[in-house]
Amino acid sequence: MMDDANKQNQPRTHWKFPETAKFGRVIPKEKLYSQAGANAELKKLFVEQVTQIKWAYKLAESTINLSKTEQVHELEVIHIKLKSQTLDEKILTAIDKAIPHPTLFMLTRDTKEANTTEQEIAYQAAHKLRTLTQSNKEKWQQSAYLKSQWLVPSSQHVAPLPAATSLESLYNQLLEALMPLGFQGAKNLQEPKSTYEHTKPLQEKRSLEDKLADLAAIEALNKQIKQIKVKRDKEKQFNRKRELNDQFKALKKQLAELIGG
């Protein structure tokens, strides 16, 4: 669910896309229903939460002069105008299922402040990875969604797209920019001690996939910690309560290590 919880951990991001990449084609909801195999519940979410879906930009060799790779042939920027203040991620998953390319979602919503209505913008994306089955059929896997803060767009917030050598490089940098603030995605290593030099911390270079795996592990650990805490707080038997508290502390330590201290 796209909401303002954990807002402090979300980056403030807003990109200016090249005019050459502008596409501006409205995508009918019915077409997405068909391609995503939407059930009644999903259709209801679309109706309640979405005003319009537009294929806003196509980032491709022909539009921004970056070479495609085996993984990223082109990158689609999908603009979703919200009817509500939040967006269920089931909607994004359905759209991603219908589009056989990496995607970046540009979300806009109207918000009222001091009797005036302003438009806010946020970005959300999952890392989509193209694989082939044994029968050579294309299959897409994706990570959990990364998201930015909602902000009122202004000239001070707009940034050009990152410099990149390929569409895949651009895609990875956009995803990196949506990583939670303060998330290091790296472990500290130690150099061997030297006679002439104090030990220095080194940061291990980690791939996007490694960082996303860490974020997934963090989410799973947070879920476990909540479950253990509930059990511990309800437990009446002293020895069992102590066991649960030890588990709680061990999980909290693992979480601190993954977050980076």
Tell whether the model's pLDDT for residue 60 goes beyond 70: yes
Distance from the first to the final alpha carbon of the chain: 27
Mean per-residue pLDDT, 37-59: 93
Mean per-residue pLDDT, 159-178: 93
β-strand pairing of 75-82 with 103-113: parallel
65 vs 203, which has greater pLDDT?
65
| Lowest mean pLDDT, pick from 138-147, 178-187, 199-208, 222-231 | 199-208
Please give the Cα distance from 243 to 33 (Å, whole number): 49
Tell whether the model's pLDDT for residue 205 goes beyond 80: no
**pLDDT tens digits for range 181-201:** 766 554 543 333 433 344 444
pLDDT of residue 214: 82
What average pLDDT does the structure give for the chain?
Answer: 84
Tell whether the model's pLDDT for residue 7 goes beyond 80: no
Place of tokens 């920027």: 77
pLDDT of residue 112: 78
Cβ-proximal residues to 227 (8 Å cutoff; 6+ apart), any chain: none
Mean per-residue pLDDT, 121-126: 95
Please give the Cα distance from 247 to 260 (Å, whole number): 20
Tell whether the model's pLDDT for residue 18 goes beyond 50: yes
Place of tokens 């059929």: 137
Confidence of residue 2 (pLDDT cuts 50, 70, 90): very low
